A and B are shown apart, each in its own frame.
Chain A
Amino acid sequence: MCLSELKESRSAVVTNVEGDSRFISRITSIGLTPGCRVKVMKNDKNRPMLVYSRDTMIALNKKECQGVMVEEVTA
């Protein structure tokens, strides 16, 4: 599933990132690479998402989330 489908306060592991090279470069440099853990801090409708990953609070537009595939993990 993609990142934006993840509910608030859930955690997941990034499985893949997809998009043009510009997107890949940006999303990689902010730390979202396959294998990294993310925690959803906020996921409101029509608002950017807030996730925590690699020591960092990251704000992401919903559209940008479409390119980040994740697998939910428990605890």
Chain B
Amino acid sequence: MSTGVTVALLGQPNSGKSTLFNALTGLRQHVGNWPGKTVEKKEGSFTHKGKEYKVADLPGSYSLSANSDEEVITRDYIASGEADVACILADSSQLQRSLFMLADYAGIDVPCFLLLNMSDVAAEQGKKINAGAIEEKLGIPVIPFSATDKKSYDVFYEALGTVIKNKGMLNVEKLNTQYESIIGYREIYELIPENVIPGYSAMWIAVKALENDKVVMAKLRAALDDQTYSRIEDAKKNAQGAVATGGCKFAWIDDILEKAVDAGDKKISLSFLDKIYTSRIWGKPAVILTVLLGLIASFIPAIPLMIVGSLILAVKAPVMGVLSSIGCPEILTLIIGDVVIQSFSYIFKMLGFVFGVTLVFGLLEEVGVMARISYVFDNTMGKLGLQGKSVMPFLVSFGCTMGGAAGARVIDNWGQKVLTIALAWAVPCGAAWATVPMLSTIFFGPGAVLVIVAVLLTMLLHMWITAKIFGAKLVKKEDRYGMIMELPPYHKPKWGALFRYVFGRTKETFIRVTKVIMLVCGVFWLLSYSPSGENGGILYTIGVAIDPVTRLFGMPWQLFLSYVASAVGKEGAIGVISALYNGGSYSAGFMDAMNGAATAGNLNELLLANVSKPEALAFIFAITFNMPCVVALAATYQETHSAKWTSIIVLYYTVVSLVLAFLAYHIGLLIW
């Protein structure tokens, strides 16, 4: 462990906290979960002038109340002394409101400094902010900051150094005077002994008591004798509570900003873009168009990595040829070719997409468009227990589930993020759209349209039910409130920080998904491996053996093996069927189809001769709602960083797809 200084970043959503974190730490960051909590923990480090610093990017929240795990974790982390310095961010362009975090922080006994971020945006709006005047009143360094400006960082490091040296605390005297005006405040304040909850001042505790903060009240009950505690309770009953303390905080902020800010005389109006996004008629189409354009745009930065993926695949056959010619054992050749090289080809194609999606949707977030997306779809998504932003991963998933999962990272609440990904799996992806209409047309002719409509309706029902089942655990009732959010001003992206972040993210994805994809591909290969080269192996034997069971779900063993293969890659499913009905090797058929080989010319006749209509219907539903593919699985693991939830989702989708197949088959039997 290094003995360096730990800096905690604290700020409201959209304060530019993540941008700063990415700019400071670059590739040196780690994302995990807080122990036992469904809240994301982001840590990183940087070196400045030979000194090592640790940075904790605390969960974004609007205040430090006890209303969410995020807020309690944030304040307890700082007060615990784990952080040596708190860097509090405010948005210069919305200074009055965004200083609320500072006001709520006041009273936590950790040295801090204030960063007036987005000073460039404020300047554009014609606002003039006198940081020196604010600094004088607060007694801590106050620095105008803009993440794009290199000089800003010098000032940042300088202020950080000053705070570490002087251990400067926020001057809260005037805030205390404000609180004195609240009836009952003084009484509670005097009942609270020094250091009763370590890290928090009596002022802070008294204010939280007035706000009826459950965590603070429980701690007071445990620490104080009954008489003192009940006196606090009594005093609290007669006091005005959170509305009054909130008023005091803003009165303090107003006092600080008085004479320090010249707001200019810019007229407030909605920009042209916002008029469209907030329009009753055009809002939703505009958002969908934005996301779709984003999806298309994300293919451009993805191309180089996708080419790498194809190149890796291109060397597969020559490498395998060389290996067998030098007398390498066949099994080793197959493992190197079909597992290792094949996996790396998937991985690089996937990384291309992750790179593109993270970049484009990270950009939309940076410039402020994501907040508009959230606004437009908040009501609709709220019904599923999600944020408006969740619409974005859903739309992306029509193209590729892995992209949807990677895009879900813009959702700042972990539970909602996992739920979004779980629901995104139900959206049929591009590979499903390539397979389902084709199969439907072969079997049902013009009736294919009905099948596709049925698939879409099933998708909606599936998402709704899944939201109910998973939502109960993942999204707490208290996190489901109506929209109260700010629409931040649009601003220019910070390209450097954005790219550093995207590269870091892609690198981390690479490390984590390699394991998952190798493992799944390896297991699938092992199960389908047959020493004779003929059809055989564990999967085949089991498939044939349980044929009577799988037939209940409308899938004879050939279709069942294809269904299993579709969990690894949907594109491969058709290759498996055509190989099996042609008497070829299904594992070879799968590999060829995954690598984009054309389907057999006689596929139509093969299918019609061997598969009945109800079976076809069952199969269509089974592969559409099965686990999307191994890369989607890997991306889900990467974004949720929970092996537990990833497994739950996989198991759930397997069961549901079989249930749907069962239903489709038996409904089919009634019709035909």
Contacts and interface: CB of A to CB of B under 8 A. Distances in A.
A24 B146 CA distance: 32
Interface in A44-66: 44-48, 50, 52-61, 63-64
Given A56-B97, A59-B487, A21 B62 contact: no
Contact of B246 (A22, A28, A52, A60): A28
Nearest to A53: B97
B483 A64 contact: yes
Given A23-B481, A30-B486, A60-B484, A17 B243 contact: yes
Interface in B1-23: 12
Given A25-B242, A28-B242, A50 B481 contact: no
A33 B484 contact: no
A64 B481 CA distance: 9
Interface stretch (B25-33, B88-96, B616-624): B88-96
A36 interface: yes
B100 interface: yes
B77 interface: no
A34 B291 CA distance: 38
Contacts of A63: 482
Given A25-B63, A28-B63, A41-B270, A54 B96 contact: yes
A33 B247 contact: yes
Given A17-B243, A22-B478, A29-B104, A59 B280 contact: no
B70 interface: no
B481 A22 contact: yes
Contacts of B65: 25, 29
Given A42-B278, A47-B280, A24 B485 contact: no
Nearest to A41: B270
B270 A33 contact: no
Contacts of B62: 26, 29-30
B615 interface: no
Given A34-B243, A54-B96, A26 B280 contact: no
A56 B249 CA distance: 17
A17 B243 CA distance: 7
A36 B486 contact: no
A44 B268 CA distance: 19
B484 A61 contact: yes
B63 to A, nearest CB: 4
A45 B515 CA distance: 51
Contacts of A45: 280
Contact of B486 (A33, A39, A42, A57): A57
A33 B250 contact: yes
A53 B97 CA distance: 8
A42 B277 CA distance: 12
B67 A42 contact: no
A27 interface: yes
Contacts of B43: none
B379 interface: yes
A45 B281 CA distance: 12
Contacts of A28: 63, 100, 242-243, 246, 249
A24 B247 CA distance: 11
A30 B379 CA distance: 19
B379 A54 contact: no
Given A17-B243, A34-B247, A27 B211 contact: no
Interface string B258-271: 00000100001110
B481 A30 contact: no
B571 interface: no
Contacts of A54: 94, 96-97, 250
Q: Most chain-A CB neighbours within 10 Å: which of B12, B246, B375? A: B246
A21 B97 CA distance: 19
A17 B478 CA distance: 19
B485 A30 contact: yes
Nearest to B250: A33
A45 B268 CA distance: 22
Contact of A42 (B97, B263, B270, B489): B270
Contact of A50 (B96, B212, B270, B488): B270
Interface in B388-442: none
Given A30-B486, A48-B379, A56-B486, 9 more contacts: A21-B242, A25-B67, A28-B249, A31-B97, A42-B278, A46-B280, A57-B486, A59-B484, A59-B486
10 contacts: A21-B67, A21-B211, A24-B243, A25-B211, A28-B246, A41-B269, A47-B278, A54-B250, A55-B95, A63-B482
> When A and B form their complex, which 9 residue pairs have the shortest distance between CB atoms, in order from nearest?
A28-B246, A61-B482, A29-B62, A31-B97, A29-B63, A54-B96, A57-B487, A54-B97, A25-B65
